Amino acid sequence: MKSARHQAILDLIEKYPIDRQEDLLEHLRREGFDVTQATVSRDIRELRLVKTSTGDGRYRYMSAGNAGKVAHSPNRFETIFRESVLNVDYAGHLVLVKCFSGMANAACEVFDAKSWEHVVGTLSGDDTFLILMRTEEDAAEITRQLQRYTVRRG
């Protein structure tokens, strides 16, 4: 449930100009999440949300990646990747990253925030994202690297 709640938080702060934890708590409860103030506070910290100025003298929460491309910590990448990704495989130059439903955008966002060699680009859907690599060898290598962050479920 934590990964679903984290995705819901990211969706809510993108959709609404939320500037207080209490407002985020209320939005989450309307979305069906039974959460406490302490949980919301911890989620904000884990997601590394920051308050940024909206230009009209007000503030709102944003992910660090959307607030001027602040670098993500390796811990954030590992946490979100481990909580979101089910499997990583490749065919030719393409790497397929299979995620829990609704989590591909978050996993792709933290992937894109890191520097990777030989990555041409990414494309994200709801439960899958693709990584286009320069060569098949590059695809095989990044697949091996990313598989270290996946937890075998089953």
Residue 10 pLDDT > 70, yes or no?
Answer: yes
Closest by CA position to 111, among listed 85, 139, 144: 85
* Residues 61, 131: Cα–Cα separation, whole Å: 29
pLDDT in tens, 91-149: 999 999 999 888 888 889 889 888 889 999 999 998 999 999 999 999 999 999 999 88
Contacts of 125 (CB under 8 A, 6+ apart): 104
* Residues 45, 111: Cα–Cα separation, whole Å: 19
**DSSP helix, strand, coil percent of the chain (3-state; round to 5):** 45, 25, 30
Torsion of CA 33, 37, 40, 42, to 10 degrees: -140
The answer to whether 104 touches 84, Cβ cutoff 8 Å, is: yes
Closest by CA position to 21, among listed 64, 52, 51, 53: 51
Name the residue ranges covered by the structural domains of the chain: 2-66, 74-147
What does the block give as tokens for 24?
């985020």
pLDDT in tens, 69-93: 434 445 677 778 888 899 999 999 9
What does the block give as tokens for 68?
């001027």
In words, the CATH class of domain 74-147 is alpha beta
Which CATH number applies to 2-66? 1.10.10.10
